[in-house]
Amino acid sequence: MKKNIADFIEVLKRNELISELHVNDDIKHEIICSLTDNSRESVKGTMFVCKGSHFKSEYLKDAITRGAVCYITDQKELIDETKPCILVHDIRKTMGILGNFYYEDAWKAMKVIGITGTKGKSTTAYFLKSIIDNYSVSIGEKPAGILSSIENFDGEVFEESHLTTPEPLRLHWHFNNMRKNGIRYCIMEVSSQALKYGRVAGIEFDIGCFLNIGEDHISDIEHRDFRDYFISKSMILDSSKQVLLSDTVDFDEIGVDISKYGDRISIFGSDEKDDFQVTDITKKSDGFDFKLRYLGETKTYSICLGGTFNVYNAAAAVAAAKKLGIPDINIFDGLSSAKASGRMELFADRGKDITVIVDYAHNKLSFQKLFESVKEEYPGKKIVSVFGCPGGKAFARRKDLGEIAGEYSDLVVITEEDHGEEDLHKICTEILTHASGRKAHCLIIEDREEAIQKAVSYYSSDAVVLLTGKGRETRQKRGTEYIETLSDVDIVENLLISMR
């Protein structure tokens, strides 16, 4: 169904979002052939959305030059009476509603599984994708789509990701691509910001998975306090047909009675009362075996990934697959072959004297679990950690990560990690104040490649080097731009080759 400017106006009126309308009647029937918030994607017939704290009037001029016929903004100063314009009072809500409207509820054409939590979202998503892909191949169907903090795949586009959950217009565009390509399952990470600010508004998840909760993203521009963060995460309960909930998440902390959700909620964890109970975790050379009890039946599963905490991410993926009705043979085969790009990836020199672990761990909860696991799995080894903190957000991480790394490590190397518009040296120095004075010797090396080289070569043997935060990402955010760089994996592989 083709849509014109009048259709957009009607939807916005119905949702009481219009503050001012600057569109003449003679243009209201102009057909809209594109909806975007990226001026470089504008073509003839585009409806352009002006959004973002860094939005500049030049972007609007560029969009109009490229062919945009109408634009939507919440900034009164951008109104140009010579150009068709719709002024709204909530640009975030507008984007969610229009994305869904323009692509005609594309998400309804597939099973959508939303995964939230402070840590483990990506790993759980890739465990589940491997399971679903194993099943899909067996019945001659397309692999699952995925929208994650690592990468996005929608049947047409395979790209590195910059956001845990895409902005609404991009999100619904991905859904539409999946629908066009006959994808039956979409697995997506759902951030607290996406829930709080309506990026996923109007979407009903077939399964919502809540993995864990820990303090993170607390700042003036994200969540004012832990309660706000927790409440935002818990919004996934109201947006899901079925919910998988970790037994570690205590809703009493925010005064939410989950009994009102009745049998929509299934609990997973290690307690014998849980619907899905993990037992008998056994370490093996390349991962873990574990048992999972469900509906009185206990089965054994395997993962080829380090970190005891990943057993519980795997349990969540198995639970989701069970709820989706996927046969157990596909669950077992898919899970046992699953790999999560940039998650607990192990590398070693020829003599296996130095082990390097590349992992995306980047907040207090993931750091704590990672260091505890490494301490347990590599007893007696020296621990070297390399990490940084992002600029302009999650300021508490500088203290949290500094303290944890300083306590567990023998050497801490503080470096760049998407400092954005904030001064890199200032961020590193703040981390240093919390890491120093503990067990570890601490260094600041701002160049990430140089920092990794120092970390890997510091001890000649019996050491584990943890490279956290960036994984296989190939860009660093410097200022407002993303600059191409080598990934941590690329740097490590090059180093180990040169050491042979």
Chain centroid to CA 26: 44
Where are the extended beta strands (E) located within 344-422? 345-348, 354-359, 382-387, 411-414
**Which phi-psi region, left, alpha or beta, contains residue 396 (left: φ > 0; alpha: ψ -120 to 50)?**
alpha
Helix 121-138 / helix 328-336 crossing angle, nearest 10 deg = 130
pTM to 2 decimal places = 0.85
Fold (CATH) for 3-102: 3.40.1390
- The domain ranges of the chain are 3-102, 106-336, 345-498
Q: Return mean pLDDT, the chain.
A: 93
Using alpha carbons, select from 208, 133, 203, 147 the residue that is nearest to residue 177: 147
Give the integer Cα–Cα distance in Å for 77 and 100: 27
pLDDT of the residue at 439: 84
Examine domains 3-102 and 345-498 and report if their fold is the same. Answer: no
Share of the chain above pLDDT 70, in %: 99
Give the integer Cα–Cα distance in Å for 51 and 47: 13
Taking residues 150-165, report their average pLDDT.
Answer: 91
178-209 pLDDT per residue, tens: 999 999 999 999 999 999 998 999 999 999 99
What is 345-498's CATH number? Answer: 3.90.190.20
Give the integer Cα–Cα distance in Å for 62 and 302: 53
Give the integer Cα–Cα distance in Å for 220 and 444: 27
232-274 pLDDT per residue, tens: 999 999 999 999 999 999 999 888 899 999 999 999 999 999 9
Worst-scoring range by mean pLDDT, 201-215, 309-323, 343-357, 417-431? 343-357
For the beta carbon of residue 372, count every other beta carbon within 10 angstroms.
Answer: 15
Share of the chain above pLDDT 90, in %: 78
439-476 pLDDT per residue, tens: 899 999 999 999 999 999 999 889 999 999 998 888 99
Length of the chain: 500
Superfamily of domain 106-336 in CATH is Mur-like, catalytic domain (3.40.1190.10)
